Amino acid sequence: MLARFLSEYSFIHDSHYMYTRDQDQATNAEDVLFDMFKNEETGLLSVGKFLAALRITGLRKNDPRLQEFSDLLKKEHAKTGGHEGISHETQKLDREQFRSIINPNIVLISRAFRHQFIIPDWAGFTKHIEDFYWKCKTNTEGKVASYIPQLARMNPEYWGVSVCTIDGQRFSIGDTLIPFTLQSCSKPLTYAIALDRLGQEVVHQYVGQEPSGRNFNELVLDYNKKPHNPMINAGAILICSLLKTLVKPEMGLAEKFDFTMDYFKRLAGGENLGFNNAVFLSEREAADRNYALGFYMREHNCYPDKTNLREIMDFYFQCCAMEANCETMSVMAATLANGGICPITEEKVLKPDSVRDVLSLMHSCGMYDYSGQFAFKVGIPAKSGVSGSLLVVIPNVMGICMWSPPLDPLGNSCRGVQFCEELVREFNFHRYDNLKHATNKKDPRRHKYETKGLSIVNLLFSAASGDVTAMRRHRLSGMDMTLSDYDGRTALHLAASEGHLDCVEFLIEQCGVLHNPKDRWGKRPVDEAETFGHMQVVEYLNNYALAYKTELENKQNECVDDNDSCSKTAETAVQSPLP
């Protein structure tokens, strides 16, 4: 009877960690996070230190998805006597306070610290972005656009890059908070709204889908007497006519402007978006070519019925004169990368089919007369504007906005184009890069320690060096803490042999690993501790083994009177924490 019980108990206990791991992660994530960041002396967690670590994963403290977490932090600060003018980030929280504050957003935060976002090693990836930024900053080629007087006043030294992934990871460097007008970067956005509201069939009755092979403002239509595509001036003017005349036709020009601005803000997750009236007026005054395009299309009956050309032209100039910064535009690009769902608000702004069509034309027509070469060299959907902005979308990964006013002869930002080339030279983001065999490029979507072998090395190194914080991260990420090397040596063996009592306690008490695994030579962790003279570890392991044996005997005695319930009792025993 005892032999059968011990056999069943041993089997169940050996599989206990794997059996309950997912459940433990869900229920213990708050505790693991608290233990990762608490001060060992005071036992309290510094809010500032925690938020700094969260930022390293790519999440910002002002992320709309963390609003509840932020509000609860401020309430706790006020409740515990926080003074006005002193930041709530200076707080020190105990375990219960931390649990209650983090609980509403624990899923998102635990995903961040488990490295489960699209770019797991965010710090490593952004280091490359910084390198590209500084390399491109030395580029002094190009001239600031001068055909619109207001744009000619821009400082050619301005240079900013912002990144936003589909999981809402954010990074910015340079002049990313200085506003600039969208200009042609508004064209894919207005096209997306038209597709979303009217459908592909209606929109493409009026505008084509082919690269023009001509200048973006040339007085020319395709063989069907339609604008070639929505990314050139004629096509964008016609898209504005569809939005004005067919989408909510009862709206006046002012209401339609607000309607479009609201769409843009939703694409940007509520980030800063404005309107530059000076640029609008300047653009309207210098719009002879655009008016010529407008009248030329009216001559060929390109517009829907009841179109007011003056209102349409004003609406087009207003869309171009909307003002944003790199940070805002990067979220818009990320919304396109995420199939129309804004990453930081999780609102479905556009239909996936509409976004697909927008990206297709950005890929083939988004870079003026450089579109073909850009598609060949860089292979990423993009749209440039004469203000120096460059909107880049890496589908299912991230959106990037670059801004630098000096333009090349084709109207694209010199630094922006160079940055894109550097990006695809380092990473396999080109649409036709082979993800499996492009060995000369990095894939930031892959985990740094993706194979089991590397996971073992990482875990055992943490145990041998006594890095209990790293071991908590491994556990939080879902790693099997019982992994062993070729010789059967586990993390517990190494922690015991090096005398790291805190690691030994963590592995046994919080991770539930067996206290007496044997390596290929039959040695247990307690044997390793004795060999190297770590008597505190020896004492702890012997006491735990004694408690373990006592618990077994007690459960065995309970089973003697009821053979049928023996297995069930054993299972209940191992699912309860041992002393």
> What is the pLDDT at residue 424?
95
Q: Is the model's pLDDT at 214 over the cut of 70?
A: no
pTM: 0.79
Q: Could you give the C-alpha distances from 191 to 38, 188, 259, in angstroms and in order?
A: 50, 5, 14
List of residues 6+ apart from 250 with CB closer than 8 A: none
Task: Please say if 424 is a catalytic residue.
Answer: no
Q: Which amino acid is located at 555 in the chain?
A: K
Instruction: Decide if 184 is catalytic.
Output: yes
- Choice between 523 and 565, residue whose per-residue pLDDT is larger: 523
**DSSP 8-state class, residue 484:** B
**Bridge partners for 93 per DSSP:** 45
How many C-beta neighbours within 10 Å does residue 54 have?
Answer: 21
Determine which one of 368, 449, 540, 544 is catalytic.
368
In total, the chain counts a number of residues equal to 579
Dmax (CA) of the chain: 99
Q: Are 412 and 370 in contact (CB under 8 A)?
A: yes
Q: For 221-253, what is each residue's pLDDT tens digit?
A: 878 889 999 999 999 999 999 999 999 999 999
Specify the higher pLDDT residue, 488 or 203. Answer: 203
Q: Say whether pLDDT at 435 is over 90.
A: no
List Cα–Cα distances, 180 to 176, 553, 563, in angstroms: 10, 75, 78
Catalytic choice (38, 187, 265, 523): 187
More confident residue, 572 or 416: 416
Average pLDDT over residues 556-567: 58
> How does residue 453 score in pLDDT terms, banded at 50, 70 and 90?
low
In the numeric block, which tokens belong to residue 371? 């579109």
Q: How far is CA 403 from the centre of its chain?
A: 21
Among candidate residues 144, 163, 386, 574, the one labeled active-site is 386
| Mean pLDDT for all residues in the chain | 86
Least confident segment among 88-92, 305-309, 361-365: 88-92
The alpha carbons of the chain give a radius of gyration, in whole angstroms, of 31
Tell me what the mean pLDDT of segment 279-287 comes to: 90
pLDDT at 12 over 70: no
pLDDT tens, residue by residue, 65-85:
999 999 999 888 888 766 665
Residue 148 has pLDDT above 70, yes or no: yes
Hey, what are 443's tokens? 């894939």
Which one from 172, 184, 241, 477 is the annotated catalytic residue?
184
Q: How far apart are CA 361 and CA 81, in angstroms?
A: 57
Which residue has tokens 């927008």? 358
Given the residues 316, 370, 540, 544, select the one marked as catalytic: 316
The average pLDDT across 279-289 equals 90
Burial (CB < 10 A; 0-12, 13-18, 19+), residue 440, is exposed
In SS3 terms, 520-574 reads as CCCCCHHHHHHHCCCHHHHHHHHHHHHHHHHHHHHHHHHHHCCHHHHHHHHHHHH
3-state secondary structure of 324: strand
Q: Active-site residue 316, yes or no?
A: yes
Reference 240, options 315, 322, 310; nearest CA is 315
At residue 298, the pLDDT reads 93
Spatial CB neighbours of 30, under 8 Å, sequence gap ≥ 6: 98, 99, 102, 103, 106
User: Which residues have CB under 8 Å from 345's CB, separation 6+?
Assistant: 64, 65, 266, 269, 270
386 catalytically annotated: yes
User: What is the predicted pLDDT for the residue at 434?
Assistant: 82
pLDDT over 80 at 437, yes or no: no
Q: Where are the beta strands (DSSP E) in 291-377?
A: 322-324
Token reading at 54: 């969260």
What is d(CA 516, CA 336) in angstroms, rounded to the nearest whole number?
53
Instruction: Judge whether 174 and 159 are in contact, CB under 8 Å.
Output: yes
- Phi, then psi, of 125 in degrees rounded to 5: -65, -45
pLDDT at residue 213 above 70?
no
In whole angstroms, what is the distance from residue 157 CA to residue 155 CA?
A: 5
